[in-house]
Amino acid sequence: MRPHGARLDRGGAVSAAVQTPSAAAFRERRRRTRRRNLRRHWQLYLLLILPVAYFVVFHYIPMANNVIAFKEYNIVDGIWGSPWAGFANFERFFANPVAWDLIRNTLVLSVYGFLAGFPVPVILALALNEVRLRFFKRTVQMVTYAPHFISTVIVVSMIILIFSPRIGFMADLLGFFGMSGNLLGDPDSFRHVYVWSDVWQTAGYSAIIYMAALAGIDPSLYEAARLDGASRLRKIWHVDLPGIAPTVVVVMILSVGNIMAIGFEKAFLLQNPLNLSTSEIIPTYTYKIGLLNADFSLAAAVGLFNSVINLVLLLAVNTVSKRVTGNGLW
């Protein structure tokens, strides 16, 4: 209670003397409050030590380590002792004809994934929202939600088994429609397999957030729509969609911001020598040159290029969205 009383006293004194205390006195008082705060809450700062150390060691030091992208790294001299290379590593990457294939593969895969994966959860949520049979609704939700918890390794093995020409039932189904047997050995099919298996795995989970937004819509809007004689489709168009628009925008920004941050895990597992021409993307390439060929500087340069583009995209989309729709991440 002491600080409260003190503040009141001082406030009274200030208003009695002059309305505006001098800036220096103000700063001095602030510093004193801060110091007292530090002393009183030392336990909070004690708690922070380990987590802050974690963020410094495993996030901020790696960010600083990116400096090796501009160096000619060798183990003997270490990160900071190795000679500077300027942009040589980046030039080396772009001089390689593979670079443009990698960038194209990465972009195509993520843009396709975004275009295919974005609308499906919205449609799923809107459809579920119309259903009044609780049991049916619950079942669809539970089942479509489940694949989210299956690991990438398992999902990829399921794909391989189900589409295997010898064992899998999907290969028979595709054969019935006159499509080729071995989908995974085919560079043209890789993208479809990658993207649609992702939709299969994540649509149910992604729909949850839209379901919650739909549940938050003011019921009087539905009442009004009904009195106006709106059909279900019109109700969706005029009430549901505007109601979830802010959520849609936020999710969209996040996914566009992640367009270059496509995961390493699944592409790497789906890769085989036959489909490499479309399945080699920047993260898998970074892994191969960095950890398998031990060319740290080149790999760091490629990785940094990817992260920076990603950050710029995220900031750009957020700015545009804020200006156009008034919704943004911050």
Site for another protein in 63-82 (CB under 8 A): 63-66, 68, 79
**Smallest Cα–Cα separation from 269: which of 180, 189, 190, 196?**
190
269 touches another protein by CB under 8 A: yes
Count of CB atoms within 10 A of residue 55's CB? 10
Q: Nearer Cβ to another protein, position 52 or 324? A: 52
**Smallest Cα–Cα separation from 270: which of 183, 204, 202, 212?**
183
Q: Nearer Cβ to another protein, position 66 or 325? A: 66
Q: How many residues sit close enough to another protein to count as binding (CB under 8 A)?
A: 101
| 219, β-bridge pairs | none
Contacts of 237 (CB under 8 A, 6+ apart): none
Q: Nearer Cβ to another protein, position 18 or 46? A: 46
Q: Nearer Cβ to another protein, position 14 or 162? A: 162
Residues 192-231 touching another protein, rule: CB under 8 A, are 200, 203-204, 208-209, 212, 219, 222-223, 226-231
According to CB under 8 A, which one of 17, 20, 23, 59 is a site residue for another protein?
59
Rounded to a whole number of angstroms, the minimum distance from the CB of residue 17 to another protein is 28
58 touches another protein by CB under 8 A: yes
Distance between CA atoms of residues 103 and 109, nearest Å: 10
296 touches another protein by CB under 8 A: yes
> Which stretches of the chain are DSSP H helices?
2-17, 23-40, 42-55, 61-65, 78-81, 88-95, 98-117, 119-130, 134-145, 152-162, 169-176, 187-215, 219-227, 232-235, 241-257, 264-270, 276-279, 282-287, 296-325
252 touches another protein by CB under 8 A: no
According to CB under 8 A, which one of 123, 245, 274, 316 is a site residue for another protein?
123
Q: Are 200 and 170 in contact (CB under 8 A)?
A: no
Q: Are 329 and 252 in contact (CB under 8 A)?
A: no
Distance between CA atoms of residues 100 and 327, nearest Å: 34
Rounded to a whole number of angstroms, the minimum distance from the CB of residue 16 to another protein is 27
Distance between CA atoms of residues 37 and 47, nearest Å: 15
Residues 126-165 touching another protein, rule: CB under 8 A, are 127-128, 130-133, 136, 139-140, 142-147, 149-154, 156-158, 160-162
Q: Are 96 and 82 in contact (CB under 8 A)?
A: no
According to CB under 8 A, which one of 112, 287, 322, 325 is a site residue for another protein?
287
Rounded to a whole number of angstroms, the minimum distance from the CB of residue 34 to another protein is 5
- What binding mask, one character per residue, do residues 77-106 give for another protein by CB under 8 A, x or -? --x---------------------------
